[in-house]
């Protein structure tokens, strides 16, 4: 009821002005330029997730091997089936085995795995990175509040606090933070944004706010980023949603990440970190982030 009402309201507001929905804190419907992928880009890298296991020559899971916000990242939560990557989020009363504590325990600030919510992150750090071009994934989002999935890019220059994002920027091509929002009815929306100058006091960032996809928790949608030396251009299903160049656009190669995170802190899930609401799964429930493909293109 609320969802249909707000979707209709957004449609009316966009007829008046495409910027009006965001002025009222509502998601907008993508209405910008079309991508024209085949005319402007050539494929340089892809993973179609064929086979029955993750391609370890492409993806690695050692980028983060400790607790993550309100849960834990663990490679056992990653699988490949029927041509799709699946990152599963589930609760475990007993900690999963830690494969990397002996290797990394003396190198990073390592927190032991414990009971709680487990999910995963995979990344091409060390296997693939590219400067500029177009980056896209096709996926179905995980069905739960209190958590979110993401397709994003990183460069270690993100941590340089120098007032600029040119040496490296975290680019969140999408994050699914608004699962089936019952109160306000904009649950089919995602958000996109950037972060640079570290994650402490010097942190800077920007966002293009919330945008509707097409029934994204039940159906496949594509989420893309066009990146050139002047700006980041975000797309949903090949239609532009917004542009950012705040702080200066990254001029360095970036690697890819696919992940799910549970809202909270110190491995304990709690409500409303980033406004995602309380987790609505119970122990025994699962949520799946299903990815059909990831493809990367370069300008012709």
pLDDT band at 12 (very low <50, low <70, confident <90, very high): low
Residue 9 confidence (pLDDT): 60
Confidence of residue 231 (pLDDT cuts 50, 70, 90): very high
Six-digit token string for 34: 């079309």
Whether residue 22 is predicted with pLDDT greater than 90 in this model: the reply is no
In this prediction, residue 185 carries a pLDDT of 54
Per DSSP, the residues of 133-144 read EEEEEEEE----
- pLDDT band at residue 63 using 50, 70 and 90 as cut-offs: confident
Q: Which two tokens stand for residue 32?
A: 């910008």
pTM for the full predicted model? 0.92
Written as six digits, the tokens of 161 are 């606090």
Least confidently predicted of 47-56, 104-113, 233-242: 104-113
CATH numbers and ranges of domains, the chain: 35-299 (2.60.120.200)
Is the confidence at residue 17, as pLDDT, over 90?
A: no
Helix (H) or strand (E) holding 73, with range, is strand 71-73
HSE value, Cβ hemisphere, 13 Å, CA-based, for 30: 27
Mean pLDDT of the chain: 89
Please name the helix (run of DSSP H) or strand (run of DSSP E) that holds residue 219, with its range, or none.
none
Q: Are 127 and 59 in contact (CB under 8 A)?
A: yes
**The most confident of 78-82, 210-214, 266-270, by mean pLDDT:** 78-82
Mean pLDDT of 50-70: 89
% the chain with pLDDT above 70: 84
Residue 186 has phi, psi (to 5 degrees) of -110, 45
Per the listing, tokens 């990397």 go with 100
User: Residue 112 has what pLDDT?
Assistant: 77
Q: Residue 183 and residue 173: Cα distance in Å, rounded?
A: 26
| HSE-up (13 A, CA, CB side) for residue 81 | 9
């Amino acid at each position: 009821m609320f969802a249909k009402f707000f979707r209709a309201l957004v449609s009316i507001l966009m007829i008046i002005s495409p910027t009006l929905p965001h002025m009222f804190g509502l998601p907008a419907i993508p209405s910008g330029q079309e991508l024209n992928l085949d005319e402007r880009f050539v494929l340089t890298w892809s993973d179609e997730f064929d086979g029955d296991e993750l391609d370890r020559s492409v993806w690695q899971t050692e980028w983060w091997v400790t607790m993550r916000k309100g849960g834990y990242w663990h490679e056992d939560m990653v699988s490949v089936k029927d041509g799709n990557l699946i990152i599963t989020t589930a609760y475990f009363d007993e900690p999963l085995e830690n494969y990397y504590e002996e290797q990394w325990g003396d190198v990073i600030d390592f927190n032991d795995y414990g009971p709680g919510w487990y999910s995963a992150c995979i990344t091409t750090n060390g296997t693939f990175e590219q400067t500029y071009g177009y980056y896209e994934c096709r996926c179905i989002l995980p069905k739960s509040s209190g958590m979110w999935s993401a397709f994003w890019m990183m460069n270690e220059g993100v941590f340089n606090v120098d007032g600029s994002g040119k040496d490296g920027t975290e680019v969140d091509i999408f994050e699914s933070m608004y699962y089936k929002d019952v109160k306000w009815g904009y649950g089919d929306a995602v958000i996109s944004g950037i972060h640079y100058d570290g994650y402490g006091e010097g942190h800077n960032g920007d966002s293009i706010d919330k945008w509707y996809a097409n029934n994204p928790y039940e159906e496949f949608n594509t989420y893309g980023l066009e990146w050139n030396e002047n700006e980041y251009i975000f797309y949903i299903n090949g239609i532009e949603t917004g542009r950012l160049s705040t702080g200066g656009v990254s001029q360095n190669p970036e690697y890819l990440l696919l992940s799910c995170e549970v809202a909270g802190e110190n491995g304990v899930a709690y409500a409303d970190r980033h406004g995602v609401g309380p987790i609505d799964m119970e122990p025994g429930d699962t949520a799946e982030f299903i990815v059909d493909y990831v493809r990367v293109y370069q300008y012709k």
